[in-house]
Amino acid sequence: MFRLENVQKTYSRHGATVTAFQCAEMTIDAGEYVAILGPSGSGKTTLLSLLGGMLSPSKGGVWLGEQSLYELSVTERAKLRRELLGFVFQTFNLVPYLTALENVQVPLCLAGISSNEQQERAALMLSRFGLTERLRHKPSEMSVGQQQRVALARTLVSNPRIILADEPTGNLDPESRELVLNSLTECHREGRTVVMVTHDPVAAKRAGRILQLIGGELRDQGDAYGRRSAA
Amino acid sequence: MRLPTLVWKELRERPSAMLTSGLTILLGVAAVVAIRHVTVHAEGEVHRQLVALGANVLILPSEATLQDYYAADQSGKTLPEEHVSEVFFAGLTGVEKVSPKLSVPATFSGQPVILTGILPQSEFKTKVAWQSVSMFAPKKHEACQRAKSLTAEPDEAPEALAKNRSIEQLNKNEILVGADIAERTGLKSGKSASLFNETFQVLAVLPRTGTVDDGRVFAHLHTVQRLAGTGEVVNAIEIVGCCEAAAGDLIPQLRKLLPNTKVVTISQVVQTQVGVNRLITKTSWFVLAVLVTIGCATVAGAIAANVRERRREIGTLMALGATPSFVSRMFLLKALWLGVGCGSFGCLMGIGLAMWLGPQWAGVAIQPLPGLSTLAVFSASGLAIVAAYWPARKAASLDPCVCFQEV
Ligand SMILES: Nc1ncnc2c1ncn2[C@@H]1O[C@H](COP(=O)(O)OP(=O)(O)OP(=O)(O)O)[C@@H](O)[C@H]1O
Ligand SMILES: [Mg+2]
């Protein structure tokens, strides 16, 4: 599904060049559940942005299926994200002035789906996360756990093939953490590709494969039982 | 939910963020619309006056300054009344009417009014008759098409004073009242009223003219002179020429005849008004330019600040699949609404202001001008979009990775 070849992302600041991420080769297959582990500043978010088509690499190429992502225009990549990708953010990133229902409608709105269908699908998705009573609440009127559930509903409402999650459990209490991880496992079981960035080794164990990022370099750690992937 | 819903919800959430720019648009449009309404109507009024009074000449005391034709006799300076006869018997060509005026402040039914003394045209005729031959009387202007000699056609009803600026018959115990005064006092023709402790008969109520004449009481010149104790003086002598050409020819002759006076034509008076209007118009363009600059700057600033504080939201929307054009439209639409909303409201305010202040400041009644108003709202909206263009572009080119940044 994803293929990275000789990818390097560097930032130049005040004459000094920082390599945020580099890897010679990496593949993530369709339907895989991959966890990316690494300390702070190791380039996890950078990798996720590269996969999401939101950050042009300084060198090398990123392929999604047969498509070289960064040969597409900004608009084409936006459309691709809309159709294929779902993001889960550490800080949920709900739109503060919209209600839970409206927040979940956003991806459908961007896809140009009719208002009625938007509402139906968003309400259904929220009810799956047990938020039927909270449709008209704004993020500021909800608990942290409820906010993350709204965010998950928003990610899944457009039925994306690929889920990219950046520290999805970072801000949560154990119960909510469990719910999020279960949702991601569920997604994986449904056949979606899941890439989760985390610095929590316990959470990473849920994944089928763990990639270790150290100082911007990627190492394959094999699966939770130490088995290395074929790639 | 659609893009406009999204924009509307954001705008409604924190309207205060857009308060300054909205207020700038509102006040800017209000000011421009008000000024333009007044100048457009004032120009129309000047034109109307010019047509109505085209051939008139005023003789004023040499010290008098002149701003408003209709108030020319209110300077307080005087001329000897004998100038009236001098003009009359000089036998000048093209003179149709000679009407002297003396204005004094008075109290009428408990209200302060301007009491204006006028001389009925019939008295000139008596003089002409008394002179037995019209050899001294004003001569007919040969070239004039609509020429009518002084003695030929009498003014019709007393109400004609409002339009013709002279009256045929007026007894010494009769008065004419302006429309405003009649309205305030409830006087009607045929009733009697008291002035300077004397009783007068109301000959007529004058139709509304929209000028200072609406606030005047007219009486016989000699009555006013006696009541006010001014002696045989007048403030101004208005000469109605038979045509524009005649009025032009009259000027040098009158200047020679009455060297110690100021002789001006109506077009000269109106020219000063036109000049004043031009100045106001120029000023209004200047004001417009300043307001447009300030308005654009505040809108651009407000939208740019909005983009800055919504960076993460924009990044998130982009991660969810919003295209750069969607993002820029979010901000352009917001600016458009600001322009349309505040522009329309400002426009209504401007029209209201003009209708309220126009009659007081410029002496003209204001009608709303739909074309001008629409143009103002359109321009405000257009400028708001132009101002928001760069911040909106900036939002569209934002790095979507900001969505991963923690707050
Ligand atoms: N826009 C940028 N400009 C300059 N340097 C950057 C930029 N973004 C990231 N970096 C650098 O790249 C490196 C990797 O950053 P990244 O955010 O990917 O780390 P991370 O593994 O996600 O860290 P964390 O666990 O704290 O979120 C860091 O050293 C960071 O300073
Ligand atoms: Mg990170």
Kindly report, residue by residue over B142-168, the tens digit of the pLDDT.
Answer: 555 444 444 444 556 777 776 666 788
- The answer to whether residue B66 is domain-embedded is yes
Nearest to A210 by CA among A222, A218, A219, A200: A222
Q: Do residues B85 and B103 share a domain? A: yes
Region B233-252: what's the mean pLDDT?
Answer: 76
Domain match, B159 and B41 both: no
Nearest CA to ligand 1 atom 14: A43
In a domain, B104, yes or no: yes
pLDDT in tens, B182-237: 888 888 888 888 888 888 989 888 888 777 778 889 999 999 999 988 889 998 88
Residue B381 and residue B362 share a domain: yes
The answer to whether residue B51 sits within a structural domain is no
Beta carbon of A65 within 6 Å of any ligand 1 atom: no
Tens digits of residue pLDDT in A146-193: 999 999 999 999 999 999 999 888 878 888 899 999 999 999 999 999
User: For B291-318, what is each residue's pLDDT tens digit?
Assistant: 888 989 999 999 999 999 999 999 999 9
- Domain limit, last residue, from B225, B242, B265: B265
Residues B77 and B27 in one domain: no
Is B50 a member of any domain? no
If asked whether residues B350 and B387 sit together in one domain, one would say yes
- C-alpha B57/C-alpha B264 separation (Å) is 6
Q: How far is ligand 1, taken at its centre, from the CA of residue A41, in Å?
A: 5
Task: Say whether A22 sits in a helix, a strand or coil.
Answer: strand
Domain shared by B293 and B359, yes or no: yes
Which residue in the set A81, A91, A115 is minimally distant from B319, CB to CB? A81
Mark whether B101 and B143 lie in a shared domain: yes
Q: Residue B89 sits in which domain range?
A: 57-265
Same domain, B311 and B365: yes
Give the bridge partners for B219, in sequence order: B117, B175
β-strand partners of A59? A8
Does any domain span residue B133? yes
Note whether B67 and B188 are same-domain residues. yes
Do residues B133 and B115 share a domain? yes
Q: Which of B236, B265, B294 is the last residue of a domain?
A: B265
Cβ distance B320 to A102 less than 8 Å, yes or no, reads no
**Pair (B186, B142) in one structural domain:** yes
Of B9, B323, B404, the CB nearest to A166: B404
- Which ligand sits closest to the CA of A166? 2
**CA distance linking residue B11 with residue A231, whole number of Å:** 50
3-state SS, chain B, equals CCHHHHHHHHHHHCHHHHHHHHHHHHHHHHHHHHHHHHHHHHHHHHHHHHHHCCCEEEEEECCCCCCCHHHHHHCCCCEECHHHHHHHHCCCECEEEEEEEEEEEEEECCEEEEEEEECCHHHHHHHHHHCCCCCCCCECCCCCCCCCCCCCCCCCCHHHHHHHCCCCCCCCCEEEECHHHHHHHCCCCCCEEEECCEEEEEEEECCCCCCHHHHEEEEEHHHHHHHHCCCCEECEEEEEECCHHHHHHHHHHHHHHCCCEEEEEHHHHHHHHHHHHHHHHHHHHHHHHHHHHHHHHHHHHHHHHHHHHCHHHHHHHHHCCCCHHHHHHHHHHHHHHHHHHHHHHHHHHHHHHHHHHHHHHCCCCCCCCHHHHHHHHHHHHHHHHHHHHHHHHHHHCCCHHHHHCCC
Number of domains in chain B: 2
Q: Are A58 and A9 in contact (CB under 8 A)?
A: yes
Instruction: Say if residue B36 is in the same domain as residue B143.
Output: no
Establish if B270 belongs to a structural domain. no
Quote the ipTM score.
0.92
Convert the pLDDT of each residue in A54-89 to its tens digit.
Answer: 999 999 999 998 889 999 999 999 999 999 999 998
Single out the residue in B265, B294, B321 at which a domain terminates.
B265
| Cβ contact A107–B321 (<8 Å) | yes
B404 CA distance to ligand 2 centroid (A)? Answer: 7
For the cut 80, the answer to whether the pLDDT of residue A140 exceeds it is: yes
Residue B216 pairs in a beta bridge with: B114
